[in-house]
Amino acid sequence: MSSALLELRGIRKSFSGQHVLDDIDLSLASGEIVSLLGPSGCGKSTLLRIAAGLDQDFSGGLARNSLLEFGSGTGMGVVFQEPRLLPWLTVAQNIGFADGRRADLAWIEQLLSDVGLAGQGAKLPKQLSGGMAQRVAIARSLYQRPQVLLLDEPFSAVDAFTRMKLQDLVVHLADRYSIALLLVTHDLDEAFYLSDRVLILGGSPSRIQRELAVPLTRPRDRRAAELAYLRGEALTELTL
């Protein structure tokens, strides 16, 4: 195993005899942000599920660095496209759901503050806006202090302004808690604004068609010429 926190090698996946992923190699280093970019149906979310260990019906290799075995669970957190909050539990209970009555209340309060929801722990999910609910989902994903966070189009269900604020929030939290991110998206702006590397999937079956590095420090300017150039390169690849 290399120094990567997460490594996938030669991943192949089929559904009902249809080959959907072929020979995918992917690695994620400590503190790195990598995006999987591609059209709908190209297998991005499937690859993320394999990385998370939620889909074990594939061929190829999946390895996690031994560092991910320390602490609770696998050292990995997941944020889905929808918040998936339990409606009968409060915000605080949703965040600490994994530990139930033994939940770390002080840590929950810290996470609520981190995501801009200080003092909102007693509310029920029905009292939250879409953006607030996704902030709770982000806090829940951090509850067990993961070193890797897997995000499956986590901002696609909110408006554009809220989306930008949530993007900045996730980058800030990743830096604060030294978390590596693997993000699935079909949004070019999002991929290059957030990432250190962008992997473009395409073809049938899907393969990684191109990898684009983003050599910009953070914080980034969304209007930067370098980002516009990279978006153009990706768009060209996606429309070939």
Q: Are residues 133 and 156 in the same domain?
A: no
Domain count, the chain: 2
Determine the pLDDT at residue 17. Answer: 84
Q: Do 106 and 170 share a structural domain? A: no
Would you state the pLDDT for residue 74?
A: 56
Q: How far apart are CA 27 and CA 48, in angstroms?
A: 12
Say whether both 98 and 60 belong to one domain.
no
Does the CA dihedral 219-225-226-228 come out positive or negative?
positive
Q: How far apart are CA 5 and CA 178, in angstroms?
A: 12
What percentage of residues in the chain have a pLDDT greater than 90?
86
- The answer on 223 and 116 residing in a single domain is no
Q: What is the pLDDT of residue 65?
A: 82
Preceding omega of 154 cis (within 30 degrees of 0): no
Whether the full predicted model's pTM is greater than 0.85, yes or no, is yes
Q: How high is the pLDDT of residue 88? A: 97
Residues 52 and 129 occupy one common structural domain? no
Domain membership of residue 16 (yes or no) is yes
User: In what order do the strands lie in the sheet containing 76-79?
Assistant: 76-79, 148-152, 180-185, 33-37, 197-202, 207-213
- pLDDT for position 1: 42
Q: Is residue 81 part of a domain?
A: no
Tell me what the pLDDT averaged over the chain comes to: 93
> Residue ranges of the chain with pLDDT lower than 70?
1-2, 67-74
Range of the domain at 33: 6-75+146-238
82 located within any domain: no
> Per-residue pLDDT tens for 84-126?
999 999 999 999 998 998 999 999 999 999 999 999 999 999 9
Q: 101 and 170: one domain?
A: no
Residue ending a domain, among 97, 123, 144, is 144
Q: Where are the alpha helices (DSSP H) in the chain?
A: 44-52, 91-95, 105-114, 130-142, 160-176, 188-194, 225-238
Residues 190 and 218 in one domain: yes
Decide if 10 contacts 60 (C-beta within 8 A). Answer: yes
